[in-house]
Chain A
Amino acid sequence: SAVISQKPSRDICQRGTSLTIQCQVDSQVTMMFWYRQQPGQSLTLIATANQGSEATYESGFVIDKFPISRPNLTFSTLTVSNMSPEDSSIYLCSVWGQVSGYDFGPGTRLTVT
């Protein structure tokens, strides 16, 4: 399976600021995704990160709030903009590979105060 790393692993941020989370994969992958997992909850897909084009957002998530970049087949960033306490969550990068299926990164635990 792919080796996925995320930075930062956790952060505490003030309301109104923005945080950019990085996801790095050790091999080229076709698909990259960003999920949010609130405490005690399931995984909710934010968007599919498309290489070289705009991300595809799920209902309830917008580009202005969660801008995503994917400059190549091994790297993506998710920015959480103008944060509020409701954005406190774990953000997970996920990749899909033909052989390995779906793998998840270790997650970024975000607390907004």
Chain B
Amino acid sequence: GENVEQHPSTLSVQEGDSAVIKCTYSDSASNYFPWYKQELGKRPQLIIDIRSNVGEKKDQRIAVTLNKTAKHFSLHITETQPEDSAVYFCAAKNSGGSNYKLTFGKGTLLTVNP
């Protein structure tokens, strides 16, 4: 099955700096890669996603890049703000057959210091 590795497990940045979180996946058939933000005590919220036919996607201060050859994808947050502090999870989905399940990375605790 799919295996998703996520790094780093913790990341501390100063407000205004950029933050980058990286994930690798094992199954070359995976074709959908979402990123979730989870604040303490709350549900995971989808912040951005990318499909395998696209190399990069941007939404304001957030961007995701995908390298299918190397089987890795990254989340980039620019101009970080204290409200960006949360746990971020990457995930991968294999579209084979009727398989719609997501496999998650272990998460990255991002702390943005004012």
Given A42-B105, A48-B100, A96-B100; A106-B49 close (CB under 8 Å): no
How far apart are B44's CB and chain A's nearest CB, in angstroms?
A: 5
Quick check: B34 and A102 within 8 Å, CB to CB?
yes
How far apart are B92's CB and chain A's nearest CB, in angstroms?
A: 12
A75 an interface residue at 8 Å Cβ cutoff? no
Size class of the contact patch on chain B: 10 to 19
Among A42, A44, A102, the residue within 8 A (CB) of B46 is A102
Quick check: B43 and A106 within 8 Å, CB to CB?
yes
Quick check: B46 and A103 within 8 Å, CB to CB?
yes
Quick check: A102 and B102 within 8 Å, CB to CB?
yes
7 of the cross-chain contacts (CB-CB < 8 Å) are A43-B44, A45-B103, A102-B34, A102-B46, A102-B91, A103-B46, A107-B43
